[in-house]
């Protein structure tokens, strides 16, 4: 049975979504153009807020983790996997990675897409300030 976490965030005029190996959502209320992996700011939750059941399931190396991104009547899904090294201890941001790198911000590894891979109309909506909903599901 899948376990879900739902995060609400906001787009920002500096959303570029140009990073080739990561995507990020942050609780920070600002964004500079240097944050080229960031899709949303002012998130209402961070990894430390996630349910322990979700965290435990995501630490399974065979777990599939999906991030469904919803903004401006558009929906995209990024699929990755869990890893025993995931900690979900970061209090500010969550990062999906196409690599196997793990730090306290990492929410999935081996993702099938990064910020640069996202539909450009979806990215434009975020750059115009659209609300972003991220639904993380672990199975």
**Contact by Cβ (8 Å): 118, 17:** yes
As averages over each run of 10 residues, the pLDDT of the chain (139 residues) reads: 94 97 98 95 98 98 98 97 98 98 98 98 97 98
pLDDT of residue 51: 97
Sort 80 into a burial class: Cβ within 10 Å, 0-12 / 13-18 / 19+: buried
pLDDT of residue 99: 98
pLDDT of residue 6: 98
Q: What's the fold here for domain 3-138?
A: Jelly Rolls (2.60.120)
Rounded to whole angstroms, how far apart are CA atoms 9 and 123?
14
110: left (phi over 0), alpha (psi -120 to 50) or beta: left
* Residues 58-97: tens digit of each pLDDT: 999 999 999 999 999 999 999 999 999 999 999 999 999 9
Domain range annotation of the chain? 3-138
Name the nearest CA neighbour of 65 among 107, 123, 7.
107
């Amino acid at each position: 049975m899948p376990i879900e976490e739902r995060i609400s965030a906001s787009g920002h005029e500096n959303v570029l979504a140009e990073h080739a190996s990561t995507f990020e959502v942050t609780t920070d209320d600002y964004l500079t153009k240097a944050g080229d992996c960031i899709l949303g700011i002012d998130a209402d939750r961070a990894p430390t807020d996630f349910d322990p059941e979700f965290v435990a399931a995501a630490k399974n190396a065979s777990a599939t983790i999906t991030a469904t991104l919803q903004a401006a009547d558009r929906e995209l899904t990024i699929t990755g996997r869990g890893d025993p090294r995931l900690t979900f201890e970061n209090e500010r941001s969550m990062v999906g990675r196409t690599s196997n790198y793990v730090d306290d911000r990492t929410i999935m590894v081996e993702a099938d897409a990064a910020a640069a891979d996202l539909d450009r109309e979806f990215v434009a909506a975020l750059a115009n300030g659209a609300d972003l909903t991220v639904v993380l599901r672990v199975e």
